[in-house]
Structure 1
Amino acid sequence: MQRDGTRESLWQHDQPDYSNDDKKIEDKIYDVLIVGGGITGVSTAYLLQKNGMSCILAEGATLGFGTTGGTTAHLNTIMDTSYPEIEKKFNKHAAQTIADSTMLAIHFIETTTKTLRIDCNFEYKNAYLLANNDDQSKELDNIVSVSKDLGIDIDYTNKIPAPLSFDNAAIIKNQAQFNPIKYLFGVADDFRNLGGVLLQNCFVSDVKQETEDTLLATTTRGKIRARKIVYATHIPPGVNLLHLRCAPYRSYVLAVELENEQSYPDALIYDMEEPYNYYRTQEIEGKKHLIFGGKDHKTGHEENLKDRFRQLEQYLNQFFSIKSIKHFWSSQYFEPADGLPYIGNLPGHDGRYFVATGFGGNGMIYGTLAAMIMFELIVRNNYKYPLAELLDPNRLKLVAGFSNFVKEGADVAAKWLGGHLTSHSIDNLASITPGEAQVVKYNHEDVALYRDGEGKLHAVNPTCTHLQCKVKWNDAELSWDCPCHGARYSTDGKVLTGPANRDLDYIIVDELVAKE
């Protein structure tokens, strides 16, 4: 199956693209248009359709093309933003709401798996959180104390099921894992069985008000009319306040075969480094894989990204005997300014526009909870639903994330200004060697150049179509990434990841040469 990167994730291997999509758009008004075919969009479409809504889902590429196809599929009740942090930034009620909701999300996935008979290897596992110094041990003490008080099944332990070093450790029970693509495709099938319409390769480029009651979406497969729209695109397209409240990050993953069959940890494991490392085992068609990830960084802010895979391998080799690396890939997520996602009405728009973004590293859980929130808001019109109130994208209380809000805004401004500085010049296109990419000035024009392994030169305008920042080369996934808001493009300028909703301008190399 396809994904928004060159590297093949574990879930893609021997997995064809989803094929059960619909062939045409009916001339009707749907209750809800869901944009995006990851876990958020498919879960939302399924839940709304199941409860009486007439839904149409439009995926710009293929199902699972985005972050769902690159996740490591941990299902946690211990989130990236710890419960002590949530209590400090919000209050204890907020922490309790998130704790209760995470358990509900795991139960929803389990129940859906059983009800729809989806063979996605859903399994409950213990998780372990490891501290490696005094500061981390103090933080762990706080996490254990607050989490236990919220009803999370957590306690200290002296043993972990992996040869990893640690000073102190906690065990968290009733965590889970699954195959996200098998689950995604199974839920999508039932959405269609319920009468829902699913369109792939249907890129939504524009949405306008058509009448007082209907919206008109322009897509690559025709016009879609709907009363409401849900952006399940990881980050909303266009220009919105949420782009200042969400920072794009990338994380790197290895799926390896170990020398010793007994070495695979039967658990989910996390250390407390910054950024943290994460481990789990996945069996696919009788073969076990150790999934190991980390080395996160802000999108478009680092060089030599493919070296991150080597760094992961070196680190893992300290504890495990690696027989072979089967897959390696990276994936993108958006970190919210105050630590909690934004799910509900899209800021700056009326009540017909909905969004779900800022999941951090907990996309499987928050994507599932987003579907539940959309059900409460759209089907039940229940804006008093506690989780919806807490995660409202229009929340004005910036105190909780104000320092991050200012920091990210300043960072974006610096990249935006830097993106308008003069590029270095080259005189000859032949100086770009196979496998090399550069943003250069050629014949007085800014050009992003990449020469592929076969010697073909690809040229695009390096100015991001979202807010005019200059893109940077990602040598790990062979893409052009925007350091301001995380838009990503293929070597030929096609949009891979929003918020951009227009491709980079493709430049015909012969025309460049003709201007010499």
Structure 2
Amino acid sequence: MQRDGSNRSIWQDHAGPTYPAVSGGHYEVLIIGGGITGLTAALRLQERGKSCVVVDAHQIGFGTTGGTSAHLNTVLDTPYTEIIKQHGKDRAREVLQSARDAMAHIADNVNRYAISCDYTPCSGFLYATDDAERDELINIEGAIRELGIACEKVEEIPLPAGNTYAIKFAEQAHFHPTRYLLGLLDAYVKLGGHVIEGALVQEVTDEDHQLRVKVAGGETLSAGAVIYATHTTPGIQLMNFRVAPYRSYIQVWELAEHESYPHDLVYDMKEPFHYFRTVQQDGKFYLMVGGQDHKTAHHDNEQHNFFELEAFIKDIYSVKEKRYQWSSQFYESQDKLPFIGYYPGKSHQRELIATGFGGNGMIFGTLSGLMLTDLILTGDCRYRELYLPTRIGPLSGVRDLVVENVDVVKRFISDRFSLQKVEGLAELGRGEGRILKYDGNRIGVFKSEEGKIYAVDPVCRHAACIVKWNNTERSWDCPCHGARYGVDGVLLNGPSVAPLEKWDLETNERQSPEERTSVENTGKE
């Protein structure tokens, strides 16, 4: 299974079937995106007799679902103290119940379709290591208890890490995300569902009460309703400015023989926090640890985050071997709750979106599948007002939105002015990418280990921000809205709907996006 980064995740070792490119046609519902949101919705709609097609720009599981830590939580990444502060206790209780509904739906799918995905109910632990963290954790403990999750103070945690205070809580779980995804896919196809891979959706228009869906290459499909299960919608839209892209880093370790693996979910109280779980592969246990979260393309050296994570884990455990490491992208909303429902600003209610899941994509992706299918089937759904995309958030949410967009404006300005100072940087090392100035033009250049040169125009095709080189996933990442491109400019993640333009270094001219061949190094270095 392929993924949107060069680092391989532990979940990619299970390949699914392949599907054809676009062949036209009309469907009652067209779902853009083949991750957990899209396939949860597609299966549920197909179960209820709707004719559906899942359209993915790459392959099923290519995006965040293939890079998640696959924690299933009712105690979410955003503490309930923060949710209560921003939205009140009644809304916080609704958030908890919606997470419970999502977890119940996952368990039901696992049982109904006999999906072998290592689904394991478990407890969760939160621990503090100093007095400030302890005080914050005590407040979180009070909120968890008040909302009705069984919770207790404990002296020991399932990690060999010291703590000043720790709690244990119920109603958590974990699973193998791509096996689960392929189980949904198999059930969906057996019910008559359609899948189209390698089809980048570029535009959706409303014509004569039908939605016309244009994909790259000029093909067009039509549908009665469209679900955007892609985190961000294509093109420049209001929703691009109501969520912000972040990256998180994960490593998988084989521990020394005398060490024991935690069979529950564990989190510390650092900022950003770390998260732990155990995974199984070929009958062996491994430790998965993640953290080091930051805004996409807002870190000088992404590889450094892996070094930091490795140092952190080696300070706690004796390790034998690192088996995997990768990073993945998620989106935070302005008020810490997802946006799920009808696409804002449309004159109809036939386009639906789901975004802003934070670090709880498996839960909120599943919840989105439930809510969006109910909206299509009945015109209403539970939690509609709670996750309404057009909601006006609390004052703190508005403040966060302003801060995020001030940052975007700063990137528009500072990137351009700083680039004017770049003359030709030091010689590019193999396996390295940089923004260079070339004959008066800025170019993004990557040199492979074999000496092959890839040159692109670093202006993002979404909102014209300047992309930044990600030195661990080997991609050009946009710091404004999270669009990501491969070394040769191919589009990896939206909201852009086009690849980066390329530079021909021999002619000093831009190539059209359709000319996707790479420029060969002549050997002059």
TM-score, reference length from structure 2: 0.93
Give the C-alpha shift of residue 427 in structure 1. 5.5
Contact 1:215–1:227 (Cα < 8 Å) also in 2: no
Q: What corresponds to 1:246 in structure 2?
A: 243
Q: Do 1:437 and 1:451's aligned partners in 2 also have CA atoms closer than 8 Å? A: yes
Any conservation in 2 of the 1:229–1:354 contact (CA below 8 Å)? yes
Q: Secondary structure at the match of 2:302?
A: coil
Indicate the residue corresponding to 2:280 in structure 1: 283
Matched, 1:161 2:145: no
- Counterparts in 2 of 1:389 and 1:432: CA distance versus 1, 3 Å: same
Contact 2:211 2:226 in 1 (8 A): no
Report what 2:106 is aligned to.
109
Please give the per-residue CA displacement for 1:372-411, whole angstroms capped at 9, x wherever unaligned. 11122111111xx341210011112342401111110101
Does the 8 Å CA contact 2:11/2:176 hold for their aligned counterparts? yes
Q: Distance in 1 between matches of 2:258 and 2:114?
A: 29
Are residues 1:388 and 2:384 paired?
yes
Structure 2 residue identity aligned to 1:445 = N
Q: Is the 8 A contact 2:151 2:169 kept in 1?
A: yes
Structure 2 match to 1:10? 10
Using the TM superposition, give the Cα deviation of residue 416 of structure 1 relative to its aligned residue in structure 2, in angstroms.
1.1
**Equivalent position SS for 2:390:** coil
Paired letter, 2:445: L
Mapping 1:53-68, distance limit 5 Å: 53-68=50-65
Residues 501, 214 of structure 1: CA spacing in aligned structure 2 closer, same or farther, 3 A cutoff?
closer
Q: Is the 8 A contact 2:42 2:54 kept in 1?
A: yes
Asked whether 1:353 is paired with 2:351, we answer yes
Q: Residues of 2 paired with 1:15 and 1:127: CA distance?
A: 27
CA distance in 1, matches of 2:233, 2:415: 22
Give, as a single letter, the amino acid of the residue that structure 2 aligns with 1:157.
Answer: V
- Of residues 13, 19, 32, the one that matches 2:17 is 19
Q: Which residue of 2 aligns with 1:460?
A: 456
The aligned amino acid for 1:213 is Q
Quote how far apart the aligned CAs of 1:242 are.
Answer: 1.6
Q: Which SS does the other structure have where 1:216 is aligned?
A: strand
Unaligned runs of 5+ in 1: none
The alpha carbon displacement at 1:189 in A equals: 1.0
What CA RMSD, in Å, does the superposition of the two structures yield over aligned residues?
1.7
Whole-angstrom distance in 2 between the partners of 1:226 and 1:26: 11
> Match of 1:447?
443
* Residue deviations 1:26-58 (CA, integer Å, cap 9, x gap): 53x211110001111111111111122211100
Partner residue, 1:408: 404
1:158-237 alignment, distance < 5 Å: 158-220=155-217, 222-237=219-234
Letter in 1 for 2:368: A
SS in 2 for 1:229: strand
Residue in 2 that maps onto 1:505: 501
* CA distance in structure 2 between the partners assigned to 1:26 and 1:456 by the alignment: 37
Q: Distance in 1 between matches of 2:396 and 2:87?
A: 6
1 CA distance for matches of 2:509 and 2:389?
A: 48
SS of corresponding position for 2:59: coil
In the other structure, the counterpart of 1:340 is 337
Contact 1:240/1:348 (<8 A) preserved: no
- Which residue in the other structure is 2:430 paired with? 434
Per-residue Cα deviation, 1:419-450 (whole angstroms, up to 9, x for no partner)? 3223444469x932312211122111111011
Q: Deviations over 1:207-236 (max 9, x none)?
A: 112222333333448321001111101222
CA contact (8 A) 2:24 2:220 kept: no
Counterpart of 2:515?
A: none
| 1:447-500 Cα distance to aligned partner (Å, 9 max, x none) | 101111100110000000110000011001110011111111001001111111
Q: Which residue does 1:362 correspond to in 2?
A: 360
Name the residue aligned to 2:369: 371
Give the CA deviation at 1:92: 1.4
Question: Any unmatched runs of 5+ in structure 2?
Answer: 511-525
Conserved? CA contact 2:276–2:290, under 8 Å: yes
Deviations 1:167-186 (A, max 9, x none): 11110112100000000011
User: Among the aligned pairs, what percent are the same residue?
Assistant: 39
Cα distance between partner residues in 2 of 1:447 and 1:23: 32
Which of 39, 42, 65 in structure 2 is aligned with 1:42? 39
**Cα distance in structure 1, aligned partners of 2:424 and 2:272:** 41
Indicate conservation of the 8 Å contact 2:21/2:198, yes or no.
no
The residue number in structure 1 matching 2:29 is 32
Match of 2:263 among 260, 263, 266: 266
Query: Counterparts of 1:122 and 1:276 in 2: how far apart (Å)?
Result: 24
**Residue type at the aligned position of 1:215:** R
Q: Secondary structure at the match of 2:85?
A: helix
* The 10-residue stretch of structure 1 (208-217 or 390-399) with the greater mean CA deviation from structure 2: 208-217
Distance in 2 between residues matched to 1:221 and 1:328, nearest whole Å: 38
* Deviating more after overlay: 399-408 vs 488-497: 399-408
* Segments ≥4 residues shifted beyond 6 Å: none
8 Å Cα contact 2:259/2:317 also seen in 1? no
Instruction: Tell me if structure 2 keeps the 8 A contact 1:38–1:232.
Output: yes
Letter in 2 for 1:296: D
CA contact (8 A) 2:3 2:66 kept: yes
| Cα 1:168/1:482, change in 2 over 3 Å | same
Q: How far is the alpha carbon of 1:138 from its aligned partner?
A: 2.1
Q: Which amino acid aligns with 1:488?
A: R
Would you say how many aligned residue pairs link Structure 1 and Structure 2? 508
